[in-house]
Amino acid sequence: MASESSSQRPLNVLFVCLGNICRSTMAEGVFRNVAQSHDLIGQIDSAGTAAYHAGESPDSRTMATLRRHGITNYKHAARKVTKDDFLKFDYLLGMDQSNLQDLLDVRDSVVAGLRRKASTPGDDVRVAEVRLFGDFGRGGKLHARVGGGEVVEDPYYGGANGFEEVYKQVVRFSESLVDYLESQKQ
């Protein structure tokens, strides 16, 4: 879906972690900042695979890290991934292997449901591409295997250092994702 639609309309990206208050919100805030001048990017959002923190603001350490790096206009209320997200977004990007597996499982059920509803057998069922955010490497290189890239460890139970490490990773992955999407336009 993503590569075919990239030349037709802006692409929508959803970042996903467990609770949607640390890693995925950091990724959303950073990616909004990195991609703000790119017309190839449409909606940017984040969600969690669990609803532990639904309705809550991002972790204060996430927000402090974003502010330290000049990202001051970010607001978000945590939410859980829905089946509709697989139809609304072009990319759902998990932060670790557990998030990725949860997303792949939901995607499989969405695809199965769409196939049952398809009017003609063999109708093309289009859903979001599911990947690790770390599958996007330097220079826009996409890891050959889904989930073969770098994971973003959860900093929730650690100190400020963990949030700074997550920030560095998501900046790198955000730039790589934009490079990848640019390369797909051609």
Cα–Cα distance, 72 to 68 (Å, whole number)? 9
Does the annotation count 135 as an active-site position? no
Annotated catalytic residue, options 9, 22, 23, 135: 23
Annotated catalytic residue, options 17, 45, 59, 102: 17
Annotated catalytic residue, options 59, 102, 135, 154: 154
Reduce the DSSP state of residue 12 to 3 states and report it: strand
| Domain boundaries of the chain, sorted by first residue | 2-185
**Which one is the CATH code of 2-185: 3.30.1330.50, 3.30.70.1520, 3.40.50.2300, 3.40.50.1000?**
3.40.50.2300
For the full predicted model, state whether its pTM sits above 0.85: yes
- Give CA 39 to chain center in angstroms: 18
* DSSP codes, 130-186: EEETBTEEGGGEEPSSTT-SB-----TTS-HHHHHHHHHHHHHHHHHHHHHHHHHH-
Secondary structure letter of residue 96 according to DSSP: S
Does the annotation count 123 as an active-site position? no
Q: How does pLDDT run along the chain (186 residues), one tens digit per residue?
A: 444 444 468 999 999 999 999 999 999 999 999 999 888 999 999 999 999 999 999 999 999 999 999 999 999 999 999 999 999 999 999 999 999 999 999 999 999 988 888 766 666 678 999 999 999 999 999 999 999 999 999 999 998 899 999 999 999 999 999 999 999 886
Does the annotation count 124 as an active-site position? no
